[in-house]
Amino acid sequence: VTGELPGAWGWPEETLRAHGEDVLALALAHMAEQRDRAVFRPVPRALAERWRSEPWPADGCGPEELLAELELALEYPFGNGHPRFHAWVNPPPDRAGALAALAAAAANPSCAGGNQSALHLEREVIRWLGEMINQRSGGGGLLTSGGSMAAIVALGAARSRGSDFDVRADGLAGSPPQLVYASAEAHSSVVKAIELLGIGSRNLRVVPTDSERRIVPAELEAMVREDADGKGTPIAVVASAGTVNTGAIDPIEEIADVCAEQGLWLHVDGAYGAPAILTERYREALTGLARADSVALDPHKWLYVPVDAGALLVRDPEALREAFSLVPPYLLTGVDPDGVTDAPWISEFGIEQTRPFRALRVWAALRCTGRDGYRRLIDHDLDLAARLGAAVRANPALELVATGLSIVCFRYRAESERSGAVQRELARRIQLGGEAFLATTELEGRPALRACFVNPTTTEADVDSLVELVTATGAAAAADFD
Ligand SMILES: *Cc1c(COP(=O)(O)O)cnc(C)c1O
């Protein structure tokens, strides 16, 4: 480079250090002082307009302008991390994971493969997560961007294993339809994966559920038998270990029996709920995870690892390799424990080639918190959900609709023809009020409020104040509809 180095490349070491301390202070304050801020504030129109229209300047900026912009960026989050943010499944970051993020960015490896720390750490955390779900030895997997990518990779493997032709070469056109089974409560990412893999969402067979929104194994078995007789080729079942709507857990053991008998791939979507296996309350319901061919589990959900960190755990890693391995000549290397490549490249087992150093964030959170630590954190969230459920039951103005894991779905009681509008208006007022943040969902085709607890800093008092807030806001919203 001729002349002065542009941007941060040219900052003297002292400037970089001083500025680094400012940024660190900003990040630490953001995590420590959440409670003092509004849960959510919309981005002011003028700022939104600036972000929409300002051109990219030809000249770079100094550390002061960078810091000002970072401050602004942290001022308008979507609410996640705040102790009274209860929407979706968006936790605050594990503190050790957040620090590790900076170290990982400084190292900036490409985690496709090679005998480097990043890959050893990735295999270690995958092994720990496999042990958490009691996977038998020989299992493996990889970190992904999230549960959505995990579903694509898992069902990609199921598609290959379920084809008696070379699906990678031939594609699915001209072959009988491949059929995948799931309940209507399965996450939208499963539908996306099926569409993307060319299986087609029409070939997603919706299995009936019981009163607790769980797949009925006998119905599944009957459907598979009937479909195999002319409708197509059943290849896989997707069971949920904690649906995103109500935390419902399908009867995984019984579904695994059906899959074993019918020769189907079992993928379990435990993106949110799988870590609950650490608790006494859910250990039993989740024992079936060990029998799944593949399990999606998001460390960036209930394990609090900073986004992004998903994981796919598989019983037979070779199934992933068969479906995805494509090694270009410039990446070909022999495996040698003391050499450049000590194990097959992870890029052979999935879709991403250049991959971020997710493992360092995952490792930092898992190692610093420990297994028992996670059990306590998850129990705390389950306790808060139970507290909210009990408060809703005891409150004549509220109606409990469904609970599961750390999710509570409920309604403010209102005349049925305007109930939906009341729930939506109530949620909107709470979201814009800055005191708390709830999401809405639909159950039996009717809007409901949904709270999900994934936050070690949320307290019982926060739950109690949420109930008061919902009751008061609900009364005001309902009165405005009169
Ligand atoms: C979040 C979630 C997903 C999707 O995972 P991403 O990490 O958002 O890609 C899938 N299933 C369930 C149950 C989830 O909670």
Q: What is the tens place of the pLDDT at every residue in 268-277?
A: 999 999 999 9
pLDDT at position 332 over 90:
no
Beta carbon of 247 within 6 Å of any ligand 1 atom: no
Model confidence over 237-265: pLDDT tens digits?
999 999 999 999 999 999 999 999 999 99
Pocket test for ligand 1, best of 238, 269, 302, 358 (most atoms within 8 A of CB): 269
C-alpha of residue 51 to centroid of ligand 1, in Å: 29
pLDDT interval class at 301 (50, 70, 90):
very high
Q: In what order do the strands lie in the sheet with 439-443?
A: 398-404, 407-412, 446-452, 439-443
Distance between CA atoms of residues 386 and 135, nearest Å: 30
Pocket test for ligand 1, best of 88, 155, 272 (most atoms within 8 A of CB): 272
pLDDT at position 333 over 80:
no
Beta carbon of 34 within 6 Å of any ligand 1 atom: no
Q: Among residues 229, 294, 296, which one has the least CA distance to residue 264?
A: 294
At residue 174, the pLDDT reads 87
User: What's the rounded mean pLDDT across residues 7-34?
Assistant: 96
Residue nearest atom 12 in ligand 1 by C-alpha distance = 271
At residue 481, the pLDDT reads 87
Residue nearest atom 7 in ligand 1 by C-alpha distance = 146
Distance between CA atoms of residues 395 and 391, nearest Å: 6
Residues 450, 417 contacting (CB under 8 angstroms): no
Mapped onto helix, strand or coil, the DSSP state of residue 202 is helix
User: What's the rounded mean pLDDT across residues 119-136?
Assistant: 98
At residue 262, the pLDDT reads 97
Neighbours of 114 (CB within 10 A): 18
At residue 419, the pLDDT reads 95
Using only C-alpha atoms, the chain has a radius of gyration, in whole angstroms, of 24
Distance between CA atoms of residues 433 and 440, nearest Å: 16
Average pLDDT, the chain: 97
State which H helix or E strand residue 204 sits in.
strand 204-207
At residue 328, the pLDDT reads 81
Mapped onto helix, strand or coil, the DSSP state of residue 262 is helix
**At a CB cut-off of 8 Å and minimum separation 6, what does 295 contact?**
133, 135, 241, 267, 268, 270, 274, 289, 312, 313, 314
Mapped onto helix, strand or coil, the DSSP state of residue 127 is helix
pLDDT at position 331 over 80:
no
User: What's the rounded mean pLDDT across residues 213-228?
Assistant: 98
First-residue to last-residue Cα distance in the chain: 70
User: What's the rounded mean pLDDT across residues 409-428?
Assistant: 96
pLDDT at position 132 over 90:
yes
Pocket test for ligand 1, best of 301, 381, 405, 450 (most atoms within 8 A of CB): 301
Residues 163, 175 contacting (CB under 8 angstroms): yes
At residue 327, the pLDDT reads 86
At residue 329, the pLDDT reads 79
Residue nearest atom 3 in ligand 1 by C-alpha distance = 147
User: What's the rounded mean pLDDT across residues 362-384?
Assistant: 98
Beta carbon of 298 within 6 Å of any ligand 1 atom: yes
Beta carbon of 89 within 6 Å of any ligand 1 atom: yes
At residue 68, the pLDDT reads 98
pLDDT at position 167 over 90:
yes
Distance between CA atoms of residues 225 and 227, nearest Å: 6
pLDDT interval class at 355 (50, 70, 90):
very high
Ligand 1 atom nearest the C-alpha of 243 is 13
Task: Tell me how many degrees the CA angle 162-164-169 measures, rounded to the nearest 5.
Answer: 95
Q: In what order do the strands lie in the sheet with 178-183?
A: 140-144, 310-314, 294-297, 265-269, 233-240, 178-183, 204-207
pLDDT interval class at 359 (50, 70, 90):
very high
| Among 90-99, 214-223, 330-339, 348-357, the least confident range | 330-339
What length is written for the chain?
482
Ligand 1 atom nearest the C-alpha of 89 is 15
Distance between CA atoms of residues 301 and 181, nearest Å: 25
At residue 338, the pLDDT reads 93
Percent of the chain with pLDDT over 90: 96
Q: Which residues pair with 144 in a beta bridge?
A: 310
Question: Distances in Å between the alpha carbon of 281 and those of 94, 276, 380, 387?
Answer: 23, 8, 12, 15
Pocket test for ligand 1, best of 143, 187, 245 (most atoms within 8 A of CB): 187
Question: Distances in Å between the alpha carbon of 438 and those of 285, 296, 457?
Answer: 27, 26, 17
C-alpha of residue 44 to centroid of ligand 1, in Å: 30
At residue 291, the pLDDT reads 98
pLDDT at position 113 over 90:
yes
